[in-house]
């Protein structure tokens, strides 16, 4: 199988919206994603034994030398696409796929050469390309797979299919193409001669050469045009013919597929932030080395296990609980409540299973006492979830010495999965399953074998957790993360479990009213849109919207895509600024109101029977250490619009409490950047107590503070945060809507004024290049092997991550420390006030009656003292009856 890399990558680029495929550092990835998805599907469906991908080097090939106007009408390659070609190459290298790019030749010449050689050697050949010129290569042993819808559908062009489509044989296709011309390659056709006439002439005269010899026989105006353009179509014929003897450094027999470099491929996927498990599964399923890898993995583990009868648990714990025990459970959790239905415990040589509902009083006491004993080490997977649901039974867990999910995250934060079965294969080289043959000790009396199998499987999980804990206990100190696990991540997981159980009270009637309000606003916008153009159309149909905007209304064309012209939010905003027509503004309002309606609808659905919303926090999603929130995502509730603030008013103080108190850090990432860079000017700007962005703007633009206008301040704010988030000049230009050169100049001027920041950013990258990782103030590492990559795009992506990770990661660590300090102080002072939410740099507490002043003093003190920065931490506090009124 031979693939035209550029052709397919271009199709992928235009098939998938670039705005939906970007890394956190702004690197576009839509072409890489689409190309790789197509490749994995085709490998699955066709299972080729030999594989290669050919790429163009540049437009200056032998065809350009012969005809300088060749492809001259093609638009400049988009910057967003150009940066992805080598990323595709890196992906192919990790998959052990041979790639070719030969100076002076196009990819289809390379493909024609390899296809010709392979067919002569007796291979069946598949060519995957979006270039119809490849149809000339079709034969009984060469088939072209041509994309007919993006890169998701491929049509098989065999000799019969070519004849069916064009009425000509594959050998005649270049003759036909020469007469037809090709606007995409800037090869002119014959005026008045279309595909039907071109095909008729080839069939009538047998070949292009014969037609040229007998051109005088062609009658009428078409004949005159043929004779007038004969030299041009002869040139077309030479340029259309593919070269079949390009000198290559490998032939078909050297293209046999080999096993993936799975570590390298995982690194590429992680760097590109391709976390979709189905995407990865399809790609790895096509690995020719998968069978060999599976053979090296043990099929399972033999566990000496016992199903405990009532009364047996105290004795087993007395015998085994001195050392660490692995714990696994089966539980349910939904809308803030749950229960445990099965528990398994594993020691080094023994394991047990029991049903919590069958415990007698002695069992219950022994188990609860063991769980609460901090001196008895426990090894868990996803400790937070276990702590959360065990608390529903009144079980408090102390002495967690290891959480295998958190440990795996600290060792390799960008990994694709923290699932127990994946970790078992990777670190223990065995499947998460009982070994064949079992030990025969499991028995449920009259119960069926299915329950016995379930018990054995859960004991295998407990044993796997225990064994992984031992491996990770050795690995964590190697990456400097043992302290982070025990001092930060494990305590935070316990706090988050309590926060998730507590939830936050919701004013359901208020939220339902908002949902109706937003739904009505959506319908009103639909009516306005119809009235603005004089007829009805489907606002959700990009095709119909394009027809209205660019056809009927004749508004300026936006960015060209494969399906027309883009109508995304940026395009609509641009149209609204350029024109007086109201439709773009109406469309923006329609989409915003529709999004708000969906947000509120999701919130209403998650209100639990106790009247509270219980979000789920995750510690292992963001590689920088930040927490994330799901089901629902409360970190996504808008805050800067009136509608968003109205939504926040739906989160209220619960019964038995007086108010909500919010506390957050002001500009924590920039304070961290000032601390790390030790830039005196930036530290002084913080120390002045004046508006930071105005103060910095006066330095950068060399004007007084009074003359820093809103636009200057906006640019400086984007600039400062852009540096803290590793944003490139191109990313900054996109964000501000300015030319890349202006953005680059803004950065240079900024660095002239704040040289310490420039020196720090340079130093951070160079130190990471030497060590292979970045580090936060608390020692959280992020490994970036691409810092030394020969691939410029991959290297630049890693450099932006090297800038971002220490700053954002340090801020995340400080917020976690602050949460722990506040929680410990509340407990120490015997207060009933409790923490409910963490949203980026903000924490939300529910204040008990009579505790307001003491809690505010405590929160300010503990948060400000979380870490001694050179630009001291600044804490803002507010309180009120709901989340919005508690804002500050």
CA geometry: angle at 769 spanning 766 and 774, to 5°? 90
Whether 512 and 403 map to the same domain: the answer is no
- Residue 654: DSSP 8-state: P
Measured at the CA of 591, the angle between CA 588 and CA 597, to 5 degrees, comes to 140
Can the peptide bond before residue 632 be classed as cis, meaning omega within 30 degrees of 0? yes
* Residues 414 and 523 placed together within one structural domain of the fold: no
HSE (side-chain half, CA atoms, 13 Å) at 544: 11
The pair of three-digit structure tokens given for residue 396, joined into one six-digit string: 């408090």
Give the pair of three-digit tokens for residue 278: 């189905």
Q: Are residues 335 and 411 in the same domain?
A: yes
> Is there a contact between 434 and 303 (Cβ–Cβ < 8 Å)?
yes
Give Cβ neighbours of residue 544 (< 8 Å, ≥ 6 apart).
537, 538
Asked if residue 876 is part of any domain, the answer here is: no
CB neighbourhood size of 220 (10 A): 9
Note whether 315 and 393 are same-domain residues.
yes
Q: Quick one: 470 and 511 in the same domain?
A: no
Residue 804 and residue 725 in one domain:
yes
Structural domain including 562 reads: 504-613
Q: Is the dihedral of CA 695, 696, 701, 702 positive or negative?
A: positive
Residue 73 lies in a domain: yes
Residue 669: which of 647, 657, 686, 691 has the closest Cα?
A: 686
Give mean pLDDT in consecutive 10-residue pieces for the chain, a chain of 888 residues. Answer: 92 83 81 92 91 86 71 68 88 94 90 95 94 89 85 84 85 77 68 74 77 75 73 74 90 94 86 80 85 61 91 96 94 94 95 95 97 97 97 97 97 86 90 70 49 92 97 94 97 98 97 96 96 94 92 88 79 88 94 93 96 96 91 86 92 97 95 94 88 88 90 87 78 81 87 89 89 92 81 79 91 98 98 96 97 98 97 96 93
Q: Is residue 881 part of a domain?
A: no
| Cβ atoms within 10 Å, residue 643 | 17
Parallel, antiparallel, or unpaired for β 125-128 and 337-346?
unpaired
Q: Which pLDDT belongs to residue 71?
A: 62
**pLDDT given for residue 440 in this prediction:** 41
- As for how many domains the chain has, the answer is 4
Which of 233, 262, 291 marks a domain boundary?
262
Two tokens, residue 399: 């002495």
User: Same structural domain for residues 454 and 519?
Assistant: no
**Which pLDDT score, from 0 to 100, does residue 795 have?**
81
| Local structure of residue 859 (DSSP, 8 states) | H
Tokens of 563: 């399906």
Strands 125-128 and 142-149: parallel
Shared domain for 445 and 550, answered yes or no, is no
b or e along 485-518 (b: 16 or more beta carbons within 10 Å of the residue's beta carbon)? beebbbbbbbbbbbbbbbbbbbbeebbbebbebb
Domain harbouring 42, CATH code: 3.40.50.1010
Has residue 855 been placed in a domain? no
Candidates 15, 142, 6, 25; CA nearest to 71 is 6
CA angle 285, 288, 294 (to 5 degrees): 70
Beta strands 325-334 and 378-380, pairing class: parallel
CA-based torsion, 487, 493, 495, 496: positive or negative: positive
Q: In CATH, what number is assigned to the domain containing residue 460? A: 3.30.420.10
- Whether 447 and 508 map to the same domain: the answer is no
Residues 6+ apart with CB under 8 A from 582: 528, 532
> How would you classify residue 301: left for phi > 0, otherwise alpha for psi between -120 and 50, otherwise beta?
beta
Give the pLDDT of residue 437. Answer: 56
Coil vs helix vs strand at 130 = coil
Q: Indicate the residue among 808, 828, 852 that finishes a domain.
A: 808
- Distance (Å, rounded) from C-alpha 884 to C-alpha 835? 17
Rounded distance, CA 671 to CA 811, Å? 9
């Amino acid at each position: 199988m031979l693939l035209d890399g550029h052709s397919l990558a271009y199709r992928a680029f235009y098939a998938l919206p670039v705005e939906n495929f970007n890394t956190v550092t702004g690197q576009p990835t839509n072409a890489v994603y689409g190309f790789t998805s197509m490749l994995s599907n085709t490998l699955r469906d066709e299972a080729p034994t030999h594989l290669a991908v050919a790429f163009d080097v540049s437009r200056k090939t032998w065809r350009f030398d012969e005809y300088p106007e060749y492809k001259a009408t093609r638009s400049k390659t988009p910057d967003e696409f150009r940066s992805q070609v080598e990323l595709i190459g890196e992906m192919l290298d990790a998959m052990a796929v041979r790639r070719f790019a030969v100076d002076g030749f196009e990819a289809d010449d390379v493909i024609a050469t390899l296809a010709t050689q392979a067919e002569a050697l007796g291979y069946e050949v598949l060519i995957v390309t979006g270039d119809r010129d490849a149809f000339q290569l079709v034969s009984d042993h060469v088939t072209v797979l041509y994309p007919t819808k993006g890169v998701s559908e491929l049509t098989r062009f065999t000799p019969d299919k070519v004849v069916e489509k064009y009425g000509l044989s594959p050998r005649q296709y270049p003759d036909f193409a020469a007469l037809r011309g090709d606007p995409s390659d800037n090869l002119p056709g014959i005026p008045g001669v279309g595909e039907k006439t071109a095909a008729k002439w080839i069939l009538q005269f047998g070949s292009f050469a014969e037609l040229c010899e007998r051109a005088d026989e062609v009658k009428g105006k078409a004949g005159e045009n043929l004779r007038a353009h004969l030299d041009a179509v002869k040139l077309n014929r030479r340029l259309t013919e593919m070269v079949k003897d390009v000198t290559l450094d490998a032939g078909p027999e050297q293209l046999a597929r080999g096993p993936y470099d799975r570590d390298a491929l995982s690194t590429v996927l992680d760097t590109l932030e391709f976390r979709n498990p189905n995407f990865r599964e399809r790609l790895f399923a096509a690995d020719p080395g998968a069978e060999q890898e599976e053979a090296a993995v043990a099929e399972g583990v033999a566990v000496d296990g016992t199903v405990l009868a009532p009364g047996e648990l105290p004795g087993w714990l007395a015998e085994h609980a001195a050392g660490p025990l692995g714990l696994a459970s089966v539980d349910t959790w939904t809308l803030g409540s749950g229960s445990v239905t099965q528990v398994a415990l594993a020691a080094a040589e023994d394991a047990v299973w029991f049903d919590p509902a069958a415990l007698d009083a002695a069992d219950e006491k022994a188990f609860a006492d063991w769980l609460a004993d901090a001196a008895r080490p426990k090894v868990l997977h996803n400790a937070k979830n276990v702590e959360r649901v065990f608390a529903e039974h009144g079980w408090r867990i102390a002495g967690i010495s290891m959480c295998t999910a958190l440990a795996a995250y600290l060792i390799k934060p960008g990994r694709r999965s923290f699932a127990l079965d994946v970790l078992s294969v990777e670190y223990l080289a065995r499947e998460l399953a009982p070994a064949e043959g079992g030990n025969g000790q499991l028995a449920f009396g009259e119960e069926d074998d299915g329950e016995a199998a379930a018990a054995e499987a859960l004991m295998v999980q407990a044993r796997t957790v225990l064994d992984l804990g031992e491996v990770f206990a050795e690995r964590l100190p190697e990456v400097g993360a043992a302290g982070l696990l025990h001092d930060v991540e494990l305590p935070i997981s316990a706090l988050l479990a309590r926060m998730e159980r507590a939830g936050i009270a919701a004013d359901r009637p208020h939220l339902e009213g908002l949902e109706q309000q937003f739904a009505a606003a959506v319908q009103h916008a639909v009516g306005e849109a119809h009235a603005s153009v004089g007829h009805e159309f489907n606002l959700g149909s990009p095709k119909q919207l394009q027809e209205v905007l660019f056809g009927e209304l004749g508004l300026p064309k936006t960015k060209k895509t494969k399906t027309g012209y883009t109508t995304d939010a940026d395009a609509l905003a641009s149209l609204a600024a350029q024109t007086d027509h109201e439709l773009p503004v109406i469309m923006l309002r329609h989409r915003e109101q529709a999004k708000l309606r969906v947000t509120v609808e999701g919130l209403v659905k998650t209100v639990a029977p106790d009247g509270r919303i219980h979000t789920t926090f995750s510690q292992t999603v963001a590689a920088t250490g930040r927490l994330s929130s799901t089901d629902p995502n409360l970190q996504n509730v808008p805050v800067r619009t009136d509608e968003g603030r109205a939504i926040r008013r739906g989160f209220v103080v619960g019964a038995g409490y007086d108010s909500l108190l919010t506390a957050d850090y002001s500009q924590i990432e920039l304070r961290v950047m000032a601390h790390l860079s030790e830039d005196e000017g930036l530290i002084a700007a913080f120390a002045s107590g004046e508006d930071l962005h105005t103060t910095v703007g006066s330095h950068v633009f060399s004007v007084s503070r009074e003359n820093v206008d809103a636009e200057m301040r906006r640019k400086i704010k984007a600039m400062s945060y852009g540096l803290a988030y590793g944003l490139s000049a191109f990313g900054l230009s996109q964000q501000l809507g300015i030319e890349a050169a202006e953005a680059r100049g803004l950065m240079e001027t900024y660095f002239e004024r704040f040289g310490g920041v420039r020196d720090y950013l340079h130093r951070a990258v160079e130190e990471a290049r030497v060590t292979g990782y970045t580090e936060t103030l608390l020692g959280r590492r992020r490994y970036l092997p691409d810092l030394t990559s020969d691939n410029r795009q991959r290297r630049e992506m890693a450099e932006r991550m090297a800038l971002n990770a220490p700053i954002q990661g340090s801020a995340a660590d400080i917020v976690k420390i602050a949460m722990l300090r506040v929680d410990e102080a509340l407990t120490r002072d015997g207060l009933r006030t409790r923490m409910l939410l963490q949203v980026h740099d903000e924490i939300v507490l529910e204040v008990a009656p009579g505790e307001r002043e003491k809690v505010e003093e405590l929160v300010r003190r503990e948060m400000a003292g979380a870490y001694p920065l050179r630009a001291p931490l600044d804490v803002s506090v507010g309180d009120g009856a709901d989340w919005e009124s508690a804002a500050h």
